[in-house]
């Protein structure tokens, strides 16, 4: 006795699911930065190829990891932001991600709540902001140098005004003192020093 069953629809459904997974994988892997999906405990459930490249962990290692393992000094911040995602629906934060080799990379991380079969998940992306941080530091340094330059310019301007008065009065005194006056030497030394200071200010 034999039974034959038509599984055409089942095969079509399986093929559709397979195509859907392929499509989803392509979309996730084409995202800029890192993509992650975790449950409420922080267990990593899905990620894109950029996570492997950014962190240096293999697929087998990532399968057993909790997202909090990527953080050290910012762990409390990330935990708070994760709870905010599950409570309010979304959150973002800047935090340093640690790679397998121990290198830390600044990331801008976003998270959104996703509910499937009454279970809550966190889905999000992270962007490496190392270059932005470097440019911010350069800008801050440039602004500091500009402030120092402005301060130095203001001081030299005020100092120059004082020297102008010293040189002016010294010159008047020099005209009043005769060549054989023993005080003339002191006046000339005052004027010479004041002129050197003026050149230094320039």
Q: For the CA atoms of the chain, what is the radius of gyration?
A: 36
pLDDT of amino acid 24: 80
Across the chain, what does the average pLDDT equal?
90
φ/ψ of 199, rounded to 5, equals: -65, -40
Residue whose entry in the numeric block shows the structure tokens 């020093």: 193
Widest CA span in the chain:
142
Rounded-to-integer distance, Cα 41 and Cα 50, Å: 22
Rounded-to-integer distance, Cα 27 and Cα 21, Å: 10
Strand, coil or helix: 121: strand
Read off the pLDDT of residues 163-176 as tens digits, 9 standing for 90 and up. Answer: 889 999 889 888 88
Strand, coil or helix: 108: strand
**Residues 65, 84: contact at Cβ < 8 Å?**
no
Of 89 and 157, more confident = 89
Read off the pLDDT of residues 91-124 as tens digits, 9 standing for 90 and up. Answer: 999 999 999 999 999 999 999 999 998 999 999 9
| Whether residue 13 has pLDDT greater than 80 | no
**Residues 84, 70: contact at Cβ < 8 Å?**
no
Band the pLDDT of 67: cuts 50, 70, 90.
Answer: very high
**Residues 166, 194: contact at Cβ < 8 Å?**
yes
pTM attached to this predicted model: 0.63
> DSSP label at 202?
-
**Residues 135, 127: contact at Cβ < 8 Å?**
no
Structure token pair of residue 22: 């392929």
């Amino acid at each position: 006795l034999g039974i034959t069953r038509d599984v055409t629809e089942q095969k079509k459904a399986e093929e559709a699911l397979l195509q859907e997974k392929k499509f989803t994988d392509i979309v996730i892997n084409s995202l800029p930065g890192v993509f992650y999906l975790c449950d409420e405990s922080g267990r990593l459930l899905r990620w894109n190829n950029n996570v492997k490249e950014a962190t240096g962990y293999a697929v087998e290692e990532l399968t057993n990891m909790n997202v909090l393992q990527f953080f050290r000094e910012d762990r409390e911040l990330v935990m708070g932001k994760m709870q905010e995602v599950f409570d309010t629906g979304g959150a973002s934060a800047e935090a340093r991600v640690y790679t397998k080799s121990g290198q830390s990379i600044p990331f801008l991380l976003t998270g959104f709540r996703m509910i499937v079969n009454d279970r809550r998940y966190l889905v999000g992306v992270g962007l490496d902001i190392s270059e932005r941080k470097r440019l911010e530091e350069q800008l801050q340094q440039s602004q500091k140098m500009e402030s120092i330059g402005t301060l130095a310019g203001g001081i030299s301007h005020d100092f120059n005004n004082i020297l102008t008065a010293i040189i002016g009065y010294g010159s008047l005194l020099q005209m009043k003192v005769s060549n054989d006056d023993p005080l003339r030497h002191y006046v000339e030394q005052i004027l010479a020093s004041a002129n050197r200071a003026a050149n230094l200010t320039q």
